[in-house]
Structure 1
């Protein structure tokens, strides 16, 4: 996003250069078109605004990171709109219509400047929700890997998932219950190293864009397996994106850590241990339906 935002910011720099040059070269013409040529200070004010525009141009075109300088244009636009508003209030007839047309033009430029400033700052851009967590499981790495590799096991400890159904060696269909509706998407294995790494992601065109990766390494001193998980979710559309975030509750990082805690219990004891102190996230109805998992790998 950085390269694109810099390009947009520099485009505003060229706009400032053109406006500033025009206001300094022909202040009377600009004042007349704006409907304020009847003021004795019109030429002086126009030159001052032109000088300010050239300063914007220098900052936007000369900076290695021009994005933050777009806010200076937004501030200048606010000042221009204030001056034009006062000018319109004291004029009538044809001159007032000229001021109104100039105000409409500056308003349009302000909207553009504000949009680019927000984009350059990363505000208003719906970024993926990225979650990470780790845990140590006191079981051999091959066993931990094999349990996770069967994606149909994931809903047993990931509360935001209703089901995962395998559709071949590398494809699966996922179903999640979010506050507004059930959401389904198809995922595929993107990278895999037996006993070490599983990486997956939703296929193109899915309602939910998601990627995940889990790595498995031997814990120090033979204490089992270290599991590190990274999840990313992005919903298509504002409402769906918000719902995707809400399905993890108010504390999504904690929700993922709780998921791994349940994963650890299943691998080490064969079931999820429930107690009044267990943090079970926002899916209370799901928890009421949950049953202890069956022993894994033939353990009693």
Structure 2
């Protein structure tokens, strides 16, 4: 997945300065996340914080709120070990963490002793992914696994295009919640007839994961270019897909790389407002809409 997963021992987060490092360097918009390892990681951090006065407590509360909303990820890892470090290394052997931070650790290539030891090189993430459907979907794993609502926008995505539907299906397979709503926004321009597209959507539902409810919107942006962007987002953040969500038919073309990048926070907030709005406005008119569940 694009987002880097850092395992940070609760014992390594003691001060307001430690919280400041996490707030400034981690987040879905920054491509780096803090693993909730163990499950009660956030509670343990709160219990261990060493704050000197009421002003520090108020600052810590605000930082903790932002960290909880924007920087944590839970991959339901097994916690198995006599110490936090042993449990983290055991989990790392099953599925790699990007970095492990623990005050009792001996530093090496992927383990750091304190948060201050992290530098810019520790936060370099991959932005190039092959155009095959599995690769395009895997990039978004961190956003999808705990999502209850996914919004995807791409002017060229079409239910009659096999490549588009292959990518869409792979994205849905990373949605692990029992009920997930998928909202798709596509440009109405240069598409087959709506009846043809709607018939394909009916067929797609038959093979779609049972936990997914699909909502499809065909949009006219009145030539404003508003629908030119391609990306997806959840309640946590988003990704920008440079070439959109279409897997080429040609196998060799699938092996070529495309750019995928974290969606900046300002763009995420603007797109959330645009695509979550239930009303049309001047440069965004819904022409057709369809839902898989009545």
Q: Report the TM-score range of the alignment, normalised by the length of the smaller protein.
A: under 0.3
TM-score with structure 1 length normalisation?
0.26
Larger relative CO (CA 8 A, sep 6+): 1 or 2?
2
Question: Which structure carries more helix by proportion?
Answer: 1
Structure of greater Rg: 1
